[in-house]
Amino acid sequence: MTIDSVGAESSTLEERHAERRNAALAMGGPKKLKQRVDAGQLNARERVALLFDVGTFRESGLFATSAVPADHNRTPADGKITGTGDISGRPAAVIAYDFTVKGASSSSVSNKKMQHMKDLALRTGVPAVYLAESTGVRMPDVMGGMGMGSGNDRTRFLRRRENPWVSAVFGYSFGSAAWHSVSSDFVVFRKGAVMAVSSPGLVSRATGQDVDAQELGGWKTHAQITGIADAVADTDEEAIGLVRKFLSYLPANNQEAPPLAPVPAGSGSRVDELRTLVPTSPSKVYDMRKVISCIADDDSLFELKSQYGKSLITGLTRFGGRTVGVIANNPMFKGGAIDADACDKATSFLVLCDSYNIPILFLVDQPGFLIGLEAERNKIAGKVINWMNALSLVTVPKFTVMLRKNYGQAFVNMGGSETADAVAAWWSAEVSFMDPRSAVGVVYGVDAESDPETFQARYEEMARESTAYDIARVYGVHEVIDPVDTREFVLHALRANFRHRTNGVGEHLLSNWPTSY
């Protein structure tokens, strides 16, 4: 072979490689890509580019196609874009569903690609990100006994929470796109997205009823009713930004402490507002988020499930640059009474924090658990105990600050009764088995309107020894503090309770707790 012929052969190989590469990068073709542009939606490769730091993404499986010969030239990357890159300078893996290729349906090859990325992320200890949009399984590939019997799903969706899973749901998301999302530690829905076990069409045919897609599994359903959505975004860009922000609070895996962040200038400068921010009357409402903004590092609250279980606030914050999970009562909704949804929300958040070595702060101002027919039918008794059991298994540091009222069994669930490592009460706190006003009615059948003189006398009897100093007398709280000292209490508790022997890593006793319930 002559030098010229070697050069020609090399040139031909280069050209063929470029042709194949360009065909794979063309995804589902110009027409389908234009439809996405016209709809104001990014395609899968654009989403991946936004997710990772510029120039850091390297793809795995670009030249994969369907195993079905007739589909070789119609399934670039087999509808899944997988690979690794950096998010804010830290490695991560991605599985992006390409809806322009057969509706991002899953086949044996694309499942193999996805499993490789999940295994790689687990083995190397980095987050796995799912950019979800799929019609589900590729039906012709799995029909019949051979199709069903050829799979191996024994550990496909097993979660031990060794590394974070994060999902963004963009459009129709059925099948594995739904399974990965409900298994994730954080799920953001773009408005307009629909996630369900099966498509509205299939559900309609199976039930004989017209099914509205948004009612079946739209973002409102999952943000307000099921609680699966941790956040909601208006656009693809915002959804991916929320994924990046969430990961900034978490370690790369469960064997690391969360990363430290710079403390914004001026953090803690508003603590003097706390003396007037919370009304002294227990019946008056206020926004607990304003309390959090006064004591945490400035602009650090990243709230989760804000539209679900609204009598409780859960979110990631920072104190002195350290990630801290906050569980706080919200008097703005139901007076802070904790309902069944709020119980599920609290338990889910405890699991997240304990799995990824995030200390937990309880901010307490609650009248107890919600009672009544609706509460019992929503299984609140079981959910209260689920929460308490989870709290008992938490091994990360826990801190409690009692602001105002703190009654009943919820006293325990909100970090009382020796369930927390450091406990403080504001000098305005009131702690008892029940609101003394209600107790008068229960015990004596007297109310303030019909017999105010007797009510007042009985109230004073029921309200005795319920101050912060009374509970401090039996070491039920460790400190009684001026509200303005709350930030310093938390900062000191973080230093005093840091797990130095394990470098901040807990025991992860909740790692196998169900992801959705």
Whether 224 is in a domain gets the answer yes
- Which two tokens mark 276? 């007037």
Confidence (pLDDT) at 217: 87
264: DSSP letter: P
Residues 292 and 420 in one domain: yes
φ/ψ bin of 192: left (φ > 0), alpha (ψ from -120 to 50), beta (otherwise): left
Average pLDDT, the chain: 90
Confidence (pLDDT) at 427: 96
Confidence (pLDDT) at 201: 74
Whether 31 is in a domain gets the answer yes
How confident is residue 6, by pLDDT bands cut at 50, 70 and 90? very low
Confidence (pLDDT) at 162: 97
Residue 267, class by beta-carbon neighbours within 10 Å (0-12 exposed, 13-18 middle, 19+ buried)?
buried
Residues 374 and 238 in one domain: no
* H-type alpha helices, 39-196: 44-51, 108-124, 139-142, 144-149, 176-182
Confidence (pLDDT) at 1: 39
Confidence (pLDDT) at 198: 74
Residues 129 and 200 in one domain: yes
Whether 19 is in a domain gets the answer no
Buried b (16+ CB within 10 A) or exposed e, 378-410: bebeebbebbbebbeebebbbbbbbbbbbbbbb
Amino acid identity of residue 239, one-letter, is A
Confidence (pLDDT) at 458: 59
Q: Which of 20-29, 140-149, 323-332 has the lowest mean pLDDT?
A: 140-149
Distance CA 460, CA 392 (A): 35
Whether residue 79 contacts residue 101, with contact meaning beta carbons closer than 8 Å, is answered with: yes
Does the structure show a pLDDT above 70 at 213?
A: yes
Q: With pLDDT > 70 as the criterion, what percentage of the chain qualifies?
A: 88
Residues 307 and 445 in one domain: no
Whether residue 330 contacts residue 292, with contact meaning beta carbons closer than 8 Å, is answered with: no
- Which two tokens mark 428? 């305005």
Whether 212 is in a domain gets the answer yes
Domains: count for the chain? 3
Buried b (16+ CB within 10 A) or exposed e, 69-105: eebeeebbbbbbbbbbbbbeeebbbbbbbbbbbbbbb
Distance CA 305, CA 232 (A): 9
Distance CA 1, CA 466 (A): 97
73: DSSP letter: G
Mean pLDDT over residues 387-407, rounded? 96
Whether 77 is in a domain gets the answer yes
How confident is residue 397, by pLDDT bands cut at 50, 70 and 90? very high
Residues 381 and 441 in one domain: no
Residues 333 and 420 in one domain: yes
Residues 457 and 496 in one domain: no
Containing structural domain, residue 155: 26-141+149-249
pLDDT, tens digit, for every residue of 128-159? 999 999 987 775 665 555 555 556 666 777 88
Predicted structure pTM score: 0.92
Confidence (pLDDT) at 361: 98
Other C-beta atoms closer than 10 Å to the C-beta of 208 total 6
Q: Which of 101-115, 231-245, 474-488 has the lowest mean pLDDT?
A: 101-115
Whether 211 is in a domain gets the answer yes
Whether 155 is in a domain gets the answer yes
Distances (CA, A) of 263 to 317, 483, 488: 12, 21, 14
pLDDT, tens digit, for every residue of 197-211? 877 777 777 778 888
Residues 494 and 452 in one domain: no
Question: Higher-confidence residue: 106 or 310?
Answer: 310
Residues 98 and 218 in one domain: yes
Mean pLDDT over residues 259-277, rounded? 96
Distance CA 148, CA 375 (A): 42
382 φ, ψ (degrees, to nearest 5)? -65, -35
Q: What CATH number does the domain containing 490 carry?
A: 3.90.226.10
Distances (CA, A) of 510 to 160, 166, 251, 254: 9, 18, 17, 12
Whether 305 is in a domain gets the answer yes
**322 - beta bridge partners?**
319
Does the structure show a pLDDT above 80 at 435?
A: no
Mean pLDDT over residues 386-394, rounded? 96
Does the structure show a pLDDT above 70 at 294?
A: yes
Confidence (pLDDT) at 3: 42
Question: Higher-confidence residue: 71 or 129?
Answer: 129
Q: Which of 66-70, 139-143, 291-295, 505-509 has the lowest mean pLDDT?
A: 139-143
185: DSSP letter: S
Scan for tokens 């909704």, then name that residue: 333
Residue 10, class by beta-carbon neighbours within 10 Å (0-12 exposed, 13-18 middle, 19+ buried)?
exposed
Residues 314 and 384 in one domain: yes
Residues 85 and 233 in one domain: yes
Other C-beta atoms closer than 10 Å to the C-beta of 242 total 20
Other C-beta atoms closer than 10 Å to the C-beta of 295 total 26
Residues 195 and 339 in one domain: no
Distance CA 396, CA 354 (A): 6
Confidence (pLDDT) at 516: 64
